[in-house]
Every structure is written in C-alpha cells, then in structure tokens.
Chains A and B, each alone.
Chain A
C-alpha cells in the first residue's frame, strides 16, 4: 500500500510517544520500523517502546562502545595505500532492522526458489542448453558472457548444485514490496557481519533484546559445513573441508577467518595446497593430508594457474583438473558468474517460470529488455524517469540516469538506444526503504538493503537473518562500505 496522505497521520501518531525518535520522518519512503499499511507485530511494538524509553545519550554511548569493540576485536577490513595499512570497521548502527515472520517466509521461499532456478539454469547452460534453444534467453548473451566458463561444459557437479552460497541483494520499494536487485552467485561476502552484528547487539543492546523472540543466526557454520561435506566425493566418509583464502592482505580476510572458525576447518592459502597423483592435499605438520571440499574465497580467474590466469600465485596448479576428475569438490562451482550477470538478471523472472513453472516469489526490480518492441516503446516514452543500462560485457559504460540527465543528453541517448535496442535494459529509479538510524542530528531515516545468505548442498537453507547495509549519509542510496555505508543487525522475528 503506498504511503498517501491518510497514512502520514498514522505515522505521526506512532511517532508521538517515541521520544528517541522525535523528528523522525520517513516521508514517502517505506519505513522498516513503522511499516505503514502493514499489520503490526507485538515484538515490533515492544521494541519501539523500549527504544523510545532509551535516552539518546545512552544510544550514543552504546554506539561509541560498539565502535571501540569492533576495532579492538579486529572485525575490520584493511585498506592499503602506498605504505600504510589502515584497519577500518564497517560502521555498525545499533538500531536493528526487523523482519516479521510473514515477511521472512516470503524472503526465505523466494530466495530458495531463486537459488533453485539459478542452479537449473547453470546446469542447462553447461549441458543441454534447452533454455537457449527455446530462445528464452538469447544464446549470445550467455555464451559470450565474461562469466561463462568453457571448462564447465559437460561437467556434472554433485546434486547439480553450482551455487552453494548465494547472497541475494534485496531492496524494498516505496510500497513495501521486496525486490531482488542482484543475485550474488560467485563468492558473496558479508555473512560474518550477520553473526558479528548479532553478537554486538547482544553485548550493547542486551536490555532491549530481553524477551524478544529473535531467531538465532548461530547455525551458519554448522549448516555450511554440512553442505560442504555433502558435496565431497562420495567415497570419503569423513571429508576434510578447508576454506581457501587469498591471505591476510585480502580485505575480506576477517570473514575467511570467521568461516574457518565457525566450520572448525583449516584456513588455507593456495601455497598450503598441492595436487599430486590427481588428488588435492594440504601441507600439514604430519605431511600431506587429503582435502575433499574447498570452500574457496578466490575468484575463478585466480583459482588455478594451469586452467585460468597463469600469473596467479593465489591458486593451486592442477586444481580444476582434479575437480573435473571428482577428487575434490569446489564451492561455489566455477562459471557461476554467467548466472548472476546484469544481463541475465533481466531474464530471471522468465528463467524461474521456464524451469519451475512458478511465478517468482520475489520480484525483480521492474526491468525492461529494450530488445523487445513494447519495452523499447515504453523506455523511449519514459526516458526521463528511467535508468537505462547497457547489458554488454563492459557493464557500467554508457549508463543513463534519466532524472539527472539534461535534455540534450536524453536526446543523444534516444539515438543510441534506437540504433541498438537489444544492448539495453531499463529500470525505474529506486526508492529504497528506510530504517531508523542513529545520526548526528538524532534518529533519522536512512536507506537500507538486505542480503540474506542461502546455503545449498543437496537442499537449500536460508540463514534466518541477513546483512542489512545502510547508507549513513542523508539522501544517498549507496549502501556500499567503500562509500559511507554501514550495517545493522537484522532481526528475523520468531
């Protein structure tokens, strides 16, 4: 339900008793806390009254404690410049983002459906290519895609699972509708923050959490390990899983540590592994020990200098060959980038319908494929309101943001678009939902997104929580940590 004049007064009445949230006004955006037009949830109401009773000074003190704590714990990513290495934290906003059970059911089933479709798509693309023959997705979009991997053709992976860990980026529009923004099907990161943010909430907001039924996020390591064990070669009864990291200089190193620790398995680098006699081994104090599943946090290109980038020193020579012979499992599989590509994204609703004969549970952001006549006509008619993106490999180049473009730019783009319509997709400009966030001027609405994490071995399990990223600067939609983004704990209510 859109936020009209009627629901504005409803918001104001909700805000009145809440001292800490005085001056908070989400305006036309959907607010994750006040959620106009949605049924109330008792936990949410209780949380709001507790938050309101908390003096703003107390919130600020807790926020400062949390920041110190993150730095001391080294829950940081390292930014390297010429001679210095600076440890930065992902700023933590202590007001949680809450997801009700009904909302979570939609996200959970929607993500599961999407992961299933992604895996079926990959299986098809690397085998029969029915979807290309049936012209649901243009063949050249797939076969000439940078993420497409020839070495995967005809290679069967356990349970036909390619995307073992998926981090689906979801936003919410002004009507409160969840929409998928991106499928991260390669090596999505951020899950360590999901768990660490929860621990932080438990430390600094324990009084606020008391008695609230928030679903636990502690199971991730166990579930991930079980999935990794499921996909290991079936000849092994007690498979050895490892986490493969590029090393301590990688900006996501903390997460690699987290994953190894939570799974209880060694954290290795390429130099710790070797392929001998067709098998993969790790160098231990007792000599070579067999490795059966590699959860790798190294991109495809660097995984194996024999198969891909010969310059790579991060990978393991011969690894892909050993994988193809079934000696080891690799998660995520190589070549999944073809499925989470911007160009393929536009086709995801059709891909879901094609393989599953189901409607997508989670919508895409309305995306028009300009190669199609209706879509082109609509796009040309609404050019000033839309974002138009080229789908060619060199993504990002030649992007038009309608509302920010001059008349001349619009006219120039119109010519380009007409000349090669199939090279473009168009989307409305996003009005991301907001969540109350502690800012200098008080608690204020800031835009958020959500990245839930799905783990798939034989079946898919979705961690009940997710990484909520928040754009800390007023007005900005950019939630990326490199551009002033922070994160929040995400509470899925039981």
Chain B
C-alpha cells in the first residue's frame, strides 16, 4: 500500500505546505492570464475595441484598480497593466515575483530543475518592456508566458518528488484552475446569453473566445459539433469530468489529494475542508448546472467562488495555521 518506504518519518514544515500551494497557484495564474490576454487580443476585432479589452480587468476583478491607472482600455493600457506593472498585484510581474519568492522558500524541497526554470522564467518576465506589449509582439509575449508556465508544470510532473509537498502543490494548482474557470464564466456567461426580448441569436465568435480563454474550444467543438447552447457551455466548464479546467474535475482532484494526505501521511483535521468540498462537488452535475443556467447562473458562481476561497482557507488553517 505504501508508495514510500517508511524508514523514518519525513515531516513537512507547515509554512512550506502553504508555500507549495501558493507556488502552484501563482504559476497557474500566469498561464491563465496570458491565455486570456492572448484570446482577447486575437478576438477583439469588432468596432467597439474598448469593451473587449475592459473584459480582462473585469474577469480579474480589477476594474477599480485599472481605472485608477488608465483612462481607456486598449491593448497598450491593458497590456501594460497586466504585463509590466509591478504595482498591480495581479500582473504577471507580481505573479512571478510571488511565485519565485515561494519557490525560494521551498528551494530545499522542490527539484533543482524546477527552481532553475522558474528562476530563468523570472528573469525573462522581469525584463519585459513596452516593446513586448506592442501589436507586433503581443501574441508572441503571451505565448512565451504560457510556454514558461507550462514548462514549469511539465518539469514539476517529471521531477517533483511525490511526497506531502507534492500533494499540497497539486491542491494549489487545482484550486486555482477551479477558481479561474469560475471567474471566467461568471464575467462572460451572462452577457453572452441571448436575451429573449432582443433576439439577436447566438454570437458564436464570443462563445469561441470564452472557450478559448478556458483552453476548451476544440474539446467543446468535439463534444458539441452542432453549435452553442448556453446551458451546455456552462455544463462543459463546470460539470464535465474530462475537461482539464472544469470546476468539477478540479474539485475531484483536490478531494483525491486531500484523501491521500489523510491516508498516507495521517494528516488530521481536514473533515471541515472535505465536507465543504463534498457539498461543492455535489452541485457540479449536468442536471443542476443545466437548471441553474436556464435561470440565473450568477448567484451560483458567486457561491462557488466563495467556497473555493473558503476551501483554500480551510486547508491553510488546518495544516499551516
């Protein structure tokens, strides 16, 4: 049963558990943000350019901060806000600084290859300048950011020793993915659902953009070749258990890692977190999501976001408090 021979007990410092969680979350945030920027850039093609770029600070809950710094939302201003601005806590600059700082704390624990790549990635991001946000380089910059984050993910998969720290790392990654997908859906879904009284039909381009921002476009097409249906998109992003970034799949993964921490490492006190997780997972069914999406998904998505935040808190307080 035991994957790790128990010659002696290897403890994990509580503070390090929290750091691994954050390391995973910050790198995941870089990937998500880069994808959203790229999709916004590529699909912001209608006449009202402003509206589309503003959607990025909206998804990230940054409207207020963004408006303080910029008058209009353009590729330049949004690019600068998210790619260059170290005073913006949700920029890739802030994310990589935080990721590297957590990695530094964990440096004796993570693989040297993880550290090396993250350190180089850090150097590259820190050197980004206005040139990188220009129209000629914007897509390439976003792609490099995604590549760097995905390289981290791959190196982690291949080199990070799978004891306690790895489980916490994976929980962090899945919490972040669940959170990001929920956020994305929350800000875009409502505006995309055709209003019966207006009756202008489905805007396929916008649904494409939403799914691309979640890295789910092709998978969705495969599952639903006949077109878009708001309930089906909601189900795909929330309840589908094959889509890597669906909330349901990620909650399931968190549950698995928490259980392993309990059974393999004898960690106690997680019943609160597991119960919360269990309830939340229970809502991620096709039936439930279809029903909610046909009325108003917003209150539900707010609830999901709150619960994901609370889950993170539960875990931190239980093990790292």
Contacts and interface: CB of A to CB of B under 8 A. Distances in A.
A284 B11 contact: yes
B116 A72 contact: yes
Interface string B277-321: 000000000000000000000000000000000000000000110
A353 B64 CA distance: 75
Nearest to A74: B119
A282 interface: yes
A271 to B, nearest CB: 7
Looking at A256, A272, A285, A287, which has the most chain B CB atoms within 10 Å of its CB?
Answer: A285
A257 interface: yes
Interface stretch (A45-53, A259-267, A417-425, A464-472): A259-267
B224 interface: no
Secondary structure type dominating chain A contacts: mixed
Interface size class of A (residues with CB under 8 A): 20 to 34
B17 interface: yes
A238 B8 contact: yes
A248 B11 contact: no
Contact of A74 (B13, B17, B115, B320): B115
A170 to B, nearest CB: 30
A289 interface: yes
A268 B266 contact: no
Contact of B11 (A243, A267, A289): A289
Interface in B81-121: 101, 104-105, 107-109, 112, 115-116, 119-120
A253 interface: yes
A72 B12 CA distance: 27
Contact of A260 (B8, B108, B120): B108
B120 to A, nearest CB: 5
A253 B100 CA distance: 14
Looking at B16, B108, B115, B319, which has the most chain A CB atoms within 10 Å of its CB?
Answer: B108
A105 interface: no
Nearest to A71: B123
Contacts of B119: 72-74
A284 B15 CA distance: 8
B317 to A, nearest CB: 12
A284 B261 CA distance: 13
Given A72-B116, A73-B116, A285 B107 contact: no
Given A72-B116, A285-B320, A272 B105 contact: no
A474 interface: no
Contacts, number: 71
A240 B14 CA distance: 16
A284 B108 contact: no
A286 B268 contact: yes
A286 B16 CA distance: 13
B150 interface: no
Nearest to A253: B104
Interface in B37-79: none
Contact of A285 (B8, B105, B123, B319): B319
Nearest to A268: B13
B269 to A, nearest CB: 9
Interface string A273-307: 00000000011111101000000000000000000
Contacts of B123: 71-72
Given A72-B120, A74-B119, A285 B104 contact: no
Interface in B1-31: 8-9, 11-17
B130 interface: no
Interface in A88-143: none
Looking at B13, B109, B115, B266, which has the most chain A CB atoms within 10 Å of its CB?
Answer: B13
A36 B285 CA distance: 83
A268 B109 CA distance: 12
A72 B109 CA distance: 18
Interface of A: 71-74, 238, 240, 243, 248, 253, 256-257, 260-261, 266-269, 271-272, 282-287, 289
Closest A-B pairs by Cβ, 10 of them: A260-B108, A284-B11, A285-B319, A267-B108, A257-B107, A283-B14, A74-B119, A261-B108, A289-B11, A248-B104
